[in-house]
């Protein structure tokens, strides 16, 4: 887990990051003394916790697309229309990873735009096939 300490100032934001929150106590004191010397206007201090899930989220759709293209599209799975839920269950079977329905739906939409899948149904109730 990574901890971040940010000082928002008139000229921008100064940030200190650490895996150890105790280090930020020292960083806080250092930033507190630097701000007045740099511009004299201290606006606000914000801290937040960041986790690796945020980083994982960026590539999750790409990961789903890779799984679909390599392990599911070559099979007969999409020979009949399949819902997002059915596709999500199949992804768990072939990859062992659980993905959110939202991300699976997003990946299916991308494959539809690339014309690798056909979409049938109405908005929010699509089924995909080859």
The domain limits of the chain are: 2-50, 58-129
- Percent with pLDDT over 70 in the chain: 68
Asked whether the beta carbons of 96 and 109 are under 8 A apart, the reply is no
Q: Which CATH number fits domain 58-129: 3.30.70.141, 1.10.10.10, 3.30.460.80, 1.10.486.10?
A: 1.10.10.10
Residues 99-111 have a mean pLDDT of 91
- 91: which 2 tokens? 């992804």
Q: What is the pLDDT of residues 114-125, one digit of tens each?
A: 989 999 988 777
Q: What is the pLDDT of residues 49-90, one digit of tens each?
A: 544 444 445 588 899 999 999 999 999 999 999 999 999 999
Residues 4-8 have a mean pLDDT of 72
Rounded to 5 degrees, φ, ψ at 104 are -65, -45
């Amino acid at each position: 887990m990574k901890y971040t300490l940010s000082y928002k100032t008139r000229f921008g934001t100064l940030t200190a990051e650490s895996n150890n929150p105790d280090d930020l106590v020292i960083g806080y004191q250092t930033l507190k003394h630097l701000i007045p010397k740099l511009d004299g206007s201290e606006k606000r201090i914000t801290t937040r916790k960041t986790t690796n899930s945020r980083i994982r989220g960026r590539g999750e759709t790409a990961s789903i697309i890779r799984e679909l293209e390599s392990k599911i599209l070559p099979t007969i799975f999409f020979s009949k229309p399949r819902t997002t839920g059915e596709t999500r269950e199949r992804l768990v079977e072939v990859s062992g990873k659980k993905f959110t329905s939202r991300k699976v739906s997003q990946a299916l939409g991308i494959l539809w735009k690339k014309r690798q899948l056909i979409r049938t149904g109405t908005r929010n109730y699509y089924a995909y096939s080859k």
